[in-house]
Amino acid sequence: MRIRVTQRDIDEGVQSNCFRCPVARAVERVFKATEAWVREIIVVRKAGWERTYVTPTAAVDFIERFDSAVLEFESPKPFSFTLDERVRATFGGNRPVKS
């Protein structure tokens, strides 16, 4: 699945916040998810299910730049990446979630 991080995601994203960073905002929007958590893995929660993915290198690099930037002077640019269904994290995150 292609995830596009927009300028709006960047402008409204929160530094050092796994739930509100630009990548999490973009993942939530694309999946129409109730919650996304992003670090070395991406956890996506939506009514009745939860999925985990390995975070692509491009997204990890972006988050590191975003979290360390003085945003008024060096804000990262919009970008896109692909979450590969075949590269899911395997430690118990691919099961239905009780609501």
| pTM, 2 dp | 0.83
The model's pLDDT over 26-67, given as tens digits with 9 standing for 90+, comes to 999 999 999 999 999 999 999 888 999 999 999 999 999 999
Residues forming beta bridges with residue 80, ordered by sequence position = 4
Which two structure tokens, joined as six digits, stand for 85? 């269904």
Number of domains in the chain: 1
Residue 63 located in a structural domain: yes
Residue 59 located in a structural domain: yes
pLDDT at 96 exceeding the cut of 50: no
The model's pLDDT over 4-30, given as tens digits with 9 standing for 90+, comes to 999 999 999 999 999 999 999 999 999
* Surface-to-core class of residue 89, CB atoms within 10 Å of its CB (0-12 exposed, 13-18 middle, 19+ buried): middle
Residue 31 located in a structural domain: yes
Residues forming beta bridges with residue 54, ordered by sequence position = 41
